[in-house]
Amino acid sequence: MVSKSKRTHSLDLFVNVLNKNVIGYFNMVRLVSQSMLSNAKLMSEERGVIINTSRFSVIDIPVINSISAVNGSGAQVAYSTAMAAIAGMTLPLARGLGRYGIRCVGVEPGLFEIPLIQAYEDTVNILSKLTPFPQRLGKPEEYAQLIEVNPSHRMKCSKLSKTL
């Protein structure tokens, strides 16, 4: 909340992150679910699936903090809050939309090999050693497989999580 230089978190940054990640996401779900209501029901009585993706874990490792230094340390407060809000939407959305044949599934991925982090080879090595089995970061195709398979399992309740 307060940086090393004793400056407080920027309210504008906090509001901006929440607007993009929470309000924007809610608006998308609102519009998509309205569109799904007009879908013909499948044999399974289903009209569609909404997949919420959030990173609910808070990581407090100095080497990771250095990656987010571009946004300042306060950015993690806003981002973590936004991800918690998205995770918190999943169950109420599932209950509210389920009666219309629209499912809502939540996915909370851990750390994955993405271009932003690949530029920091030392960081990737440290994080890999801190990660439970397998001791490596997730691969984008593993996440894609989960997203691809999840909608086909109507009763599946899964979580992809490799938190530290």
Instruction: Give tens-digit pLDDT for 67-79.
Output: 443 333 455 788 8
Whether residue 157 is contained in a domain is answered as: no
Q: Is residue 124 part of a domain?
A: yes
- Is residue 123 within 8 A of residue 117, CB to CB? The reply is yes
Catalytic residue among 79, 100, 120, 143: 79
Q: Which domain holds residue 117?
A: 11-152
| CATH classification at residue 70 | 3.40.50.720
What is the tens place of the pLDDT at every residue in 17-56? 899 989 999 999 999 999 999 998 887 788 988 888 876 4
> pTM surpassing 0.85?
no
∠ CA 9-10-16 to the nearest 5 degrees? 125
Domain count, the chain: 1
Does 161 reside within a domain? Answer: no
pLDDT given for residue 148 in this prediction: 76
Residue 164 lies in a domain: no
pLDDT, mean of residues 113-138? 78
Residue 102 located in a structural domain: yes
pLDDT digits (tens, 9 = 90+) for 123-132: 778 878 877 7
> Would residue 143 show up in a list of annotated catalytic residues for this protein?
no
Q: Is 49 in a helix, a strand, or coil? A: strand
Distance CA 71, CA 90 (A): 28
Band of residue 99 on the pLDDT scale cut at 50, 70, 90: very high
| CB-based burial, 11-35: b 16+ in 10 Å, e otherwise | eeebeebbeebbeebeeebeeebee
The Cα–Cα gap between 1 and 44 comes to 48
Domain assignment present for 58: yes
Q: Kindly state whether residue 1 falls inside one of the protein's structural domains.
A: no
How many residues are there in the chain?
A: 164
Nearest-10 Cα torsion for 132, 161, 81, 154: -170
Residue 91: φ, ψ to 5°:
-65, -45
Contact (Cβ atoms closer than 8 angstroms) between residue 87 and residue 108: yes
- The answer to whether position 86 is within a domain reads yes
